[in-house]
Amino acid sequence: MTVPKSEYLSNVWADGIFANRVVFITGGAGTIGSAQTRALVHLGADACIIGRNVEKTEAAAKEIAKVRSGARVLGLGGVDVRDFNSLNTAANRCVKELGAIDFVIAGAAGNFIAPISGLSPNAFKSVIDIDTIGTFNTIKATVPHLIASAARNPNPNPASTTGGRFLSVSATFHYTGMPLQAHVSAAKAAVDALMGSLALEYSPYGITANSLAPGAIEGTEGMSRLASSAMMSSDRGKMVPLGRWGRVRDIADATVYLFSDAGNYVNGTTLVVDGAGWRRQGGAGVGLDQDMVYPDFLLAGEIGKNLKDGRKGKL
């Protein structure tokens, strides 16, 4: 059964605003990435989604294509963002089969719960490789195509069409620091720095580059690993000033904004979509059960007992 539009896109956007545009997205088969792609395809774009799992990526592409009659959605599995040659081949195939790359989303990411004491050098390096090196490789593989897209779609454009836009999916942990998330904090801080450099070096060519930082998003693969399964949704909501976790639609709508004519002058920055959750990071509940209090759980060398994936270490 096709995902209802209300779950991935609000009603404020005009149909067809991304007609004849192509989005290239790593991690496009994930819960957030697929919502972003659905929104863009619904509004006229074609898409190329990249992933490591062949079956999952191809199945996601077929499902996403159902949101609009005539949509072309190419699913390229077996692609590892840590391998530049693999990613570069995928980008070239996207252009060959779909005609261009106008928008890029670097959404591939890895995460798990671990204190520094339980974080091996290889585990730390793995997250840096996927998030930071993967984003850099995505830049290198797609920038020539984005330059060409920006040349076809000047900013601003009287026709309101857009192109030459790069978006990385970041996080907010590094704004204040977050226990049990040193690896992701370091990786995403580097991703944000990359976006600043990309904006400075390539905006003269017409490219815009931004980060999008989601907070806790309901029903995502990421939060299924980071949050305790024993915590009620009502208690989770209390940890966010707005009173709820986000929806994938919140992230998809933010993506549409940044790629649309309305986002023409947003460049070299980070759009945080988290209900103001980062302003009270200590209460975010990442890696903790409901009764765990900072810094007691750290001094006891404990993490939540109801986590999908946690790497323990004694402090």
HSE-up of 88 (CA within 13 Å, CB side)? 8
Distance CA 284, CA 260 (A): 31
d(CA 74, CA 98): 8
Non-local CB neighbours of 263 within 8 Å, separated by 6+ positions: 162, 165, 208, 257
Cα-Cα-Cα-Cα torsion 237, 109, 257, 31, nearest 10 degrees, comes to -60
Q: Which two tokens stand for residue 273?
A: 């979509």
Q: Nearest 5°: phi and psi at 120?
A: -75, 155
Angle CA(242)–CA(244)–CA(245) in degrees, nearest 5? Answer: 115
170 has catalytic annotation: yes
| Cross-sheet strand order for the sheet of 46-50 | 73-76, 46-50, 22-26, 103-106, 165-169, 208-214, 270-273
Active site residue 66: no
Tell me the Cα Rg of the chain. Answer: 19
Q: Residues 34, 170, 185, 228: which is the catalytic one?
A: 170
**Contact status, residue 249 vs residue 8, Cβ threshold 8 Å:** yes
Spacing of C-alpha 235 from chain mean position: 25
In angstroms, rounded to a whole number, what is the distance separating the alpha carbons of residues 192 and 170? 7
Which residue in the list 188, 211, 228, 260 is annotated as catalytic?
Answer: 188
Are residues 287 and 179 in contact, defined by beta-carbon separation less than 8 angstroms? yes
Residues acting as catalytic residues: 170, 188
